[in-house]
Every structure is written in C-alpha cells, then in structure tokens.
Structure 1
Amino acid sequence: MNNKAKARITIAMAAATLLIAGCGISIASSTSTAGSAKQKQYSIAFVPKLVGIPYFSAMNQGGEAAAKRFGVRWIYEGPTTASVSGQAEYVRSLIQQHVLAVGVSANSPTALDPLIQEAVKSHIMFYAADSNVSSPYNQLWVEQARSKALGYDVVDIAAKEMHYSGQLAIISAGPTATNLNTWIMYMKQRLKKYPNIQLLPIQYAGESITGAEQVASRMIAAYPHLKGFIGVATTIPPGEAQAVENAGKEGQIIVTGISDPNSVRSYLNSGVIKKVVLWNPINLGYLTVWGVLQHLEHHPFHKWNNVPGLGKVEYFPSRKMLLLGPPLIIDKANDNLNF
C-alpha cells in the first residue's frame, strides 16, 4: 500500500471517529461497566402508572441515560391514564415479547399478581420502581425515598405554614396506588403531633392537574375555613394551587405536597406554593436500570453500592430494596431544577 492510500485510510478513520463523537457516543465507554450487558443487549422494560406527565418523562430520561451508559435496551411504554387494567395490558404484552426484565410503578399493589408469577415462571425478571407491588415474586424494589420521611416532611411543612391549626385537606391521585397510600398513612401518623389541625376526608382526583383543580375548588366551596392543601402525587399540588388562585385565597390557604419543580414553578414564583417535597426522578430512572442490570448479571448487592454516575446507594436485603436517598425539599431557591 502506497503512502497516499495509507493517508486516505487514516483520514477516513479520523472522520468516522469525529462523527461518532458528534453523536454523543463515547467509544471508550461502550463496554458495559456491569459486564457483558452490551454484548447480550439485555431488554429492560418499564411500565409507569401513565405516560405523558413530567414526572414519568423524567424517569424515562434517566432510564435512557443509564441504558446508553451500560449498553442495554430500555423499553418505556404504558397507558395514557392511571389505569390498573391498562397497566396490566402493557405488562402482558411485554411478557409475550419475552423481554428479560419488566417492571412497573404500580397502580395497585395486588392487581398484577398473576402476571408477576407468569413473568417469573417464564424466566423474566419482575421489578418495581417508584410504587411497589406486594407480590413475593417481585425480585427488586427501587424506592425513591423513605416513605416515612416523605410523609413526615410534607406534614411538617403544612403545619408550619398553617401556624399549627385549622382544617387541612389531602387530595391524592388514585385510591389503590401503593406509594400514595403509604405516604398518606405516614402523614396521618405525623398529624398526631399537631392536635389543632383537623384532617378532612381524603379526596381523589386521578393523575390529573385539571381533576385536582376541580376537586380542590369543591373543597374550598364546602369548607369556608379551610387553611391548607396537601397534594399526594406530582399532578395534584399545581391543581390545588390553581384552585386557590381562582378563589382569590392566596395567603389564606396554603398548598404543599409531593410534586416536581417543572409542574409547580409558576406557583413557587407567585408565592401560592412555598415548598413541595420530591426526589430526583431522573436519578430514580437511572438507578432502576442499574439495579435491574446487576440482578440480570448476577452481581450481588452490598450494603452500600457504588453506582457509576450516582455514587453510594444503600441496599436493604430484607425488602430487596435499593434506596435512592433522602427527600428533596423544593422551593424558590432551587426551582431551577429541570425535571
């Protein structure tokens, strides 16, 4: 081969390298840190409660980032409403496609039991993230933050803003969601610390900002001395806040709960909402993929695990649980978080 031919090959290889780099793909990182995942191209599927809301879109973003880093195939699909039967249909379809792992943010702790058993019998890993299932066949649970800490933090914020007295309304999304009901249980437990706060009957609005606004508006009309709202699901506090604005009750009725900065930013800026509580759902999606991959690769979890890109993550063997970390308080000072 003459020198000119060698030069042409060298230039072509350099151009190809630049093209790959321009697409955001790192040749050096193409080998999975967890072993042979890229060669096997593990298929990891996740069915959220519903698609199309910022929270689960952020989880999907984290899942995609982890899939790219660790060389797996990430499948994200689900119903457009928070439907137990709709979620089951997607899980059933994914089992029939013979993915290697399928998981959910459960709309019900028990409704998927037959499908979970079917998955495991078919040698498909089943896992849960964000909202757990109760099945003993579940092989991994990725928890966003300790439920007790979330419930207690939200109530402490509401109590302080209400000056520790008055009527308080809790609006949740769905009556069967494992995580939402667990948080409400701890909220009720924490409210025992504040005897001058009267908890009104729990209301449900579905995973809908508009639904939350409608329910909150009815609560405001029915309880003229209402002093506070807690929203249990990311779509609920913005709906409650809009109802407060519509009623001209800014400064009279406080709003807090569990929500994401993108959903409540305008209300943080206006002052209708002072604080909400959450975690980083992008990191939750990322941790979910990493954790499932460890299980598929037969890598045992340790008490503390060094997760590339996240750092130290704790594992609780009795619950088969990876814990993302402590709750995150979101207020006007850090509402620039993009999720």
Structure 2
Amino acid sequence: MKKYKLLVAFVVVAIMVMSVIGCSAEAPAESPAPAESTAAESAAPAESSGAEAPQAADGEPYKIGIVVKQMGAPYFDYAAEGAKKAAAEMGAEIISYTGPSSEDVNQEITFIEDLITQGADAILVSTADSTAIIPTINKAMEAGVAVFTFDIDAPDSERLFCVTAGNAQESGAAIGESLAKQIDGKGQVALLTGGLGSETLNQRLDAIKEVLAGYPDIEIVATEACDDNFEKCVSQAENLIQTYPDLKAFAGVSSVNPPAAAMAIQSAGKTGEIISLGIGLPSQCAEYVDAGIIPELTLWDPGVMGYDAVAAAVNYLKDGSLPQDGQDYGEYGGKLIVAEGETVGYIPSIIFTKDNVHDYEF
C-alpha cells in the first residue's frame, strides 16, 4: 500500500514538472504580441489628423500612389506638397510619390503596375504620353484601383477625373496673343515644349500657332521638345540663338521652358534683344522677370492642383462622388471649375509680372 502511494505521488510530481516545462516551451509562440502593439502605436500618429480618417473596407486609411512625369522638377515637388497636405488633413496615406528622373512613359507604366501590386486604392498620374499610358490606366481601373490624372490628362483612357489648370487651348491662345503684343506683331520666334507625346502641351502649341497665323509678319522658325529636361532646353535655346541671329522671342508651354530660354538669352548677352515667356514658376523666373527678359508668364499654383487631386480621389473612395462645378476644397484648395457633363476640373491661372512675381512662394 505504501509502495502504491509513493508511486502515485511520484506520478503527480512528474506531471506537475512536465506541465511547467510545457508552459515554458510554449511561451515564445506568444511573444509577437508586444511587437504588434508597438507597430500599432507607432502608426497611430500618422492616422491622426483632427478629423476621422476615411477608411477602406479593411479599416485602414485609403492608400494613394502618385506618379509624376519627372521627379525632382520643382513644379511637381510643389504639387506633391499640396497632395501630402490634403492626405494629412483627410487621413489618407500617400504610399508612394515617384516618377522617372526625365520623361519616360515606360517607367511611369512600371510605377503604376507596382502600385497595383502594392494594393493602392487610388493612383494619381501626370503622364508623359497621353496615348501610351492608356492601357496601363485601364488595367489599373479593371483591377479596382481608382485612377485620377492631374496636370497632364489622358482623356481617352478610363480614368475617372482630371484636375488641371485652365483650358489648354485658352492658355495657349493667351500666350500667343501676349507674344505677338510683346514683339509688335513681327519677327522670328521659336516655340518650346516639354514632350511631344503630351496632348495638353500639344493643344497649347496648336493654339499659339493658330493665333500667330493671324500675324503674317511673325515667323515660327522652330519647335523644340526638351522632355522637360532643363539643361536640354537651355542647350536647345542656345543653339537656336546662334542659328537665328534675328530671333525675337521664345514661347514655352512647359514650366521648364521660359527660365531655360531666359538663361540662354542672358548667357548669350541678348538681354533686351530676345524675350522669353509662357508657362513658368514664379520662383524659377523671378530674376529673369526683374531683368526684363521675361516680360510676363502664366501659371497656376501646383500645390493647389495636387491638393485638389488627392481630395477628389479620397471623396470618390468614400462615397463614389466626383467633383462638380464649384466644388469647394476649402481655404487652400479653393473651388474647381467643371463644365457640365465633363470630367475635367480646372483651377484658376495667374499672370505674373514685375508687380506680383515676388508675391508667390511656388
């Protein structure tokens, strides 16, 4: 009997020891829990914006990717600032802001496909080629990604909406009339653009040419495309100045053109003989405006454009709505102009001269 009791006691003790060992062995399987809470805590500040963050079906903030036609260009850097401001205020997340170092639609296509794979809820695109990008935009839409264009549109794609500035034909016509006025309706002129694959830029060019066709004493001697590369545009302008000694003016439809041409004019010692005008950033052109090389230029606030594009995308993801005429995006974003039945929203343009060029930060 004593032997039986001793045996039972031994078994009980053995079971207790094994239980303790077993619990110790299982403990590491539960260790990830603290790491998960740490990650959640570190993510929390990014989601706080004062207002309740818009969320996708999985409860996470909407993920937005931005693809621009040229990274490092001041114009798109300002646009990105506005986009990030809107995302922060609306609780969305910019998961990528990227683009080629110089215009390359094939790289843009790769970036968009990567964003599809990453699970972006929306993609904003400023395209280098309005036609070549179409299949990729359509692919993203078919994958359930909401695609919006901004600045440069791809109107024949299935994109949902475009946020841009002014009407391309109207802005081009305004540049043409300004050019004709500045040179008294006579002389040789050269036209500059970013990329020949951009429908928006081509529309501006065509509008300038149409206006200048009404001035028989104005001769367009060349049209050069620099792919929005500043150094390339400077080189092109320098060559044109040498080739056409009677050249009177450059007109550019991309923001790199007026300051690049102005730099070439200044370097050639042609200040007062040749002028440069068109679409340009006041921050890049102010010194040339002050010097009289750029009598005037036109642009819009790219930060507002980026802000409104993100706001439009987030609103669509939340409730399926697209911008309407007079859509109000607040003190910073302002109001969009949307023609009835159209899927393009315009932000207002600004004319810059010596009187106001230093009043703007972009």
Class of the TM-score when normalised by the shorter of the 2 chains: 0.7 to 0.9
Partner of 1:174: 195
Number of aligned positions between the proteins: 313
- Could you report, residue by residue, the CA deviation over 1:150-209 in whole angstroms, capped at 9, with x for unpaired residues? 112211221111111111100112111222111111111222332321112311222122
Partner of 2:77: 57
Please point out which of 151, 156, 161 is paired with 2:177. 156
Partner of 2:224: 203
Question: In the aligned structure 1, how far is the partner of 2:196 from the partner of 2:322?
Answer: 35
Partner of 1:144: 165
Percent identity, please: 27
For residue 341 of structure 2, give the secondary structure of its aligned residue in structure 1.
Answer: helix
Question: In the aligned structure 2, how far is the partner of 1:260 from the partner of 1:37?
Answer: 37
Confirm whether residue 95 of structure 1 aligns to residue 109 of structure 2.
no
Question: In the aligned structure 2, how far is the partner of 1:51 from the partner of 1:141?
Answer: 20
C-alpha contact (below 8 Å) 1:106/1:178 kept by paired residues: no
For residue 181 of structure 2, give the secondary structure of its aligned residue in structure 1.
Answer: helix
Question: In the aligned structure 1, how far is the partner of 2:336 from the partner of 2:99?
Answer: 28
Partner of 1:70: 90
C-alpha contact (below 8 Å) 2:238/2:264 kept by paired residues: yes
Please point out which of 302, 326, 338 is paired with 1:315. 338
- Could you report, residue by residue, the CA deviation over 1:18-60 in whole angstroms, capped at 9, with x for unpaired residues? xxxxx99986x3325xx65796411121111111011000000
Question: In the aligned structure 1, how far is the partner of 2:224 from the partner of 2:324?
Answer: 41
Question: In the aligned structure 2, how far is the partner of 1:24 from the partner of 1:71?
Answer: 8
RMSD (Å), alpha carbons: 2.1
Q: What is the 5 A alignment of 1:225-236?
A: 225-236=246-257
Confirm whether residue 242 of structure 1 aligns to residue 263 of structure 2.
yes
- Could you report, residue by residue, the CA deviation over 1:42-97 in whole angstroms, capped at 9, with x for unpaired residues? 11211111110110000001001111111111231111111111111111111111
Matching residue's letter, 2:239 = R
Please point out which of 212, 225, 237 is paired with 1:191. 212
Q: In structure 2, do the counterparts of structure 1 residues 312 and 207 end up closer, same or farther at CA, with 3 Å as the change threshold? A: closer
Compute the displacement of 1:260 (Å): 0.3
Partner of 2:357: 335
Q: What is the 5 A alignment of 1:101-140?
A: 101-140=122-161
C-alpha contact (below 8 Å) 1:54/1:262 kept by paired residues: no
Question: In the aligned structure 1, how far is the partner of 2:324 from the partner of 2:132?
Answer: 31
Matching residue's letter, 1:68 = A
Which residues of structure 2 form unaligned runs of 5+? 1-44
Compute the displacement of 1:299 (Å): 2.8
C-alpha contact (below 8 Å) 2:124/2:309 kept by paired residues: no
Question: In the aligned structure 2, how far is the partner of 1:315 from the partner of 1:276?
Answer: 24
Q: Which has the higher contact order (CA 8 A, sep 6+)?
A: 1
Partner of 1:262: 283
Q: In structure 2, do the counterparts of structure 1 residues 274 and 96 end up closer, same or farther at CA, with 3 Å as the change threshold? A: same
Compute the displacement of 1:332 (Å): 1.9
Q: Which structure has the larger Rg over C-alpha atoms?
A: 2
